[in-house]
Structure 1
Amino acid sequence: MSTTASGPARRTTAELEALPLAPPAATGLSEVVRRRYLLSMLVRNTIKSRYQGTVLGWVWSYLQPAIRFCMFYFLFQVMIGRGAGMENFAIHLFSGMVIVHFFTETFNGGTQSLVQNRSLITKLPVPREMFPVARMLVAAWHTVPMLVILVVPCVWLGWRPDPVGMAAALLGFTLTAALGLALGLLFSVGNVFMRDIGKVAQTLTQFVTFSVPMMYPYTLVYERFGEPIASWYLLNPMAEAVLLIQRGFWTGTTSDPDATAAVHLPDHLFTRGLVMTAIAFVLLVVSQRIFARLEARVPERL
Structure 2
Amino acid sequence: MTTIDYSAFDTPGRGRGLLDVFRYGYLLRLLIGKSTSVRYRNSVLGWFWSYVRPTVQFLVYFLVVGQVLGMHRNVEAFPLYLFSGIVVVNLFNEAFGAATRSIVENKALVRKIYLPRELFPIAAITGSFIHFLPQLAILLVVCVFLFGWVPSLLSVGLALGGLALILAFILGLGLFFSAFNVRFRDASNMVEIVRTVATWASPILYTWVMVADITRDIPWIFHLYMCNPVTIAVELFHHAFWQPAVDPSDWLGWPPAMGWYIAAACGIIVVVNVVGQYVFRRAERTFAQDL
Contact persistence 1:69–1:94 (CA under 8 A): yes
Report the Cα offset of residue 279 of structure 1.
3.4
Q: Which of residues 210, 213, 222 in structure 1 aligns to 2:212?
A: 222
- Look up the match of 2:9: none
Q: CA RMSD in A?
A: 2.0
1:281 and 2:248 are equivalent in the alignment: no
CA offset digits 1:136-180 (Å, max 9, x no partner): 101111111111111111112011122222222222111111111
1:147 and 2:136 are equivalent in the alignment: yes
Distance in 2 of aligned mates of 1:135 and 1:268: 35
Residues 141 and 270 of structure 1: is their aligned pair in 2 closer, same or farther, counting only changes over 3 Å?
A: farther
CA offset digits 1:213-243 (Å, max 9, x no partner): 1111111111222160322321222111111
- Look up the match of 2:4: none
TM-score for both structures, normalised by structure 2: 0.88
Distance in 1 of aligned mates of 2:187 and 2:59: 35
Q: Which of residues 203, 212, 224 in structure 1 aligns to 2:202?
A: 212
1:66 and 2:55 are equivalent in the alignment: yes
Report the Cα offset of residue 190 of structure 1.
1.0
Contact persistence 2:149–2:245 (CA under 8 A): yes
1:260 and 2:247 are equivalent in the alignment: no
Report which stretch shifted further, 274-283 or 94-103: 274-283
Report the Cα offset of residue 80 of structure 1.
4.1
Contact persistence 2:76–2:250 (CA under 8 A): no
Report the Cα offset of residue 280 of structure 1.
0.8
Report the Cα offset of residue 65 of structure 1.
2.5
- Look up the match of 1:126: 115
- Look up the match of 2:182: 192
TM-score for both structures, normalised by structure 1: 0.85
Structure 2, unaligned stretches of length 5 or more? 1-11
Distance in 2 of aligned mates of 1:270 and 1:92: 22
CA offset digits 1:5-52 (Å, max 9, x no partner): xxxxxxxxxxxxxxxxxx636351121122111111111111111111
Report which stretch shifted further, 116-125 or 225-234: 225-234
Report the Cα offset of residue 134 of structure 1.
0.8
Q: Specify the code of the residue in structure 2 equivalent to 1:251.
A: Q
Report the Cα offset of residue 278 of structure 1.
4.2
Distance in 1 of aligned mates of 2:54 and 2:265: 28
Contact persistence 1:115–1:192 (CA under 8 A): yes
Structure 1, unaligned stretches of length 5 or more? 1-22
- Look up the match of 1:17: none
Report the Cα offset of residue 121 of structure 1.
0.6
Distance in 2 of aligned mates of 1:261 and 1:165: 16
Secondary structure in 1 aligned to 2:209?
helix
Distance in 1 of aligned mates of 2:62 and 2:139: 12
Distance in 2 of aligned mates of 1:202 and 1:47: 22
CA offset digits 1:103-130 (Å, max 9, x no partner): 1122211111111111111123210011
- Look up the match of 1:250: 242
Q: Which of residues 287, 291, 296 in structure 1 aligns to 2:285?
A: 296
Q: Specify the code of the residue in structure 2 equivalent to 1:59.
A: F
- Look up the match of 1:11: none
Report the Cα offset of residue 275 of structure 1.
4.0
- Look up the match of 1:182: 172
Secondary structure in 2 aligned to 1:83?
helix
Secondary structure in 1 aligned to 2:202?
coil
Residues 169 and 82 of structure 1: is their aligned pair in 2 closer, same or farther, counting only changes over 3 Å?
A: same
Report the Cα offset of residue 269 of structure 1.
2.9
- Look up the match of 1:9: none
- Look up the match of 2:227: 235
Contact persistence 2:227–2:264 (CA under 8 A): no
Contact persistence 2:96–2:173 (CA under 8 A): yes
Q: Specify the code of the residue in structure 2 equivalent to 1:281.
A: V
Contact persistence 1:66–1:149 (CA under 8 A): no
Q: Which of residues 81, 90, 108 in structure 1 aligns to 2:70?
A: 81
Contact persistence 2:58–2:86 (CA under 8 A): no
Report the Cα offset of residue 270 of structure 1.
4.4
Identity %: 34
Aligned length: 277
Report which stretch shifted further, 236-245 or 270-279: 270-279
